[in-house]
Amino acid sequence: MKPLATRTNKPELNNAGFTLLEIIAVIVIMSILAVVAVPRYFDLQTQARQRAMDTGLAEGIGRVNGYFAQQVLTGTTPSAILYDTSATRLGSDLGDFILTVSAEGALTSATHFRITVTGRSGTPLAGMTKSADVKKPGL
C-alpha cells in the first residue's frame, strides 16, 4: 500500500501583479499624453471664452435689431430711435455679460455706434471685453 500524499505547508506564491517595467511604461505613456493634452485643454478653454464673447456680442446686435423693429412698428422714424442700455430700451443685462452701447468708435456716430460686451465679475468671462462698430439699422 502506498502512503497518502502529505501536504506541505509551503505558502503559494501570488504572481498577480505588475512588473516594474510595466509600471514604468505606463508612467511614460501617461507623461507623454499629459504633455500633449494639457496645453490643448487650455487652448480649448481660451477658444471657448472667445466664442462666448462673440455670442454675447451677437446677442447685443440682436437686441439692437429687435428694438429697431419694435420702434419702427410703433411709427418711430429710424433716425429718431435712441439706442441705449436703459431698461426700457436695450437693457444692459446679458446674463454673463454687460452690454454697453455708445456713439463712439472709428466710424461716424451719425450712422454707426459701438456695442461692447464685458464679462460679468464672478463668471469665467470676468474682465474680458469685446466691441464692434455697428451700422444703425434702417439708415
Are the C-beta atoms of residues 83 and 90 closer than 8 Å to each other?
yes
Residue 127 is assigned to a structural domain of this protein? yes
Q: Is residue 12 part of a domain?
A: no
d(CA 34, CA 30): 6
List all residues 6 or more positions away from 40 whose beta carbon is below 8 Å from its beta carbon.
Answer: none
28 belongs to a structural domain: yes
Residue in 135, 131, 134 with CA at minimum distance from that of residue 56: 131
- For residue 25, give the amino acid letter: A
**Would you say residue 7 lies in a domain?**
no
pLDDT at 106: 46
5 occurs within a structural domain: no
| Number of domains observed in the structure of the chain | 1
Question: What is the reported pLDDT for 42?
Answer: 83
pLDDT per residue, tens digit, the chain (139 aa), is 566 655 566 666 666 788 899 999 999 999 998 888 888 888 888 899 999 999 999 988 898 889 899 989 999 888 888 887 776 777 788 888 888 888 644 445 678 888 899 998 998 888 899 998 888 888 7
Range of the domain at 30: 21-135
The structure's pTM equals 0.66
User: Is residue 3 a part of any domain in this protein?
Assistant: no
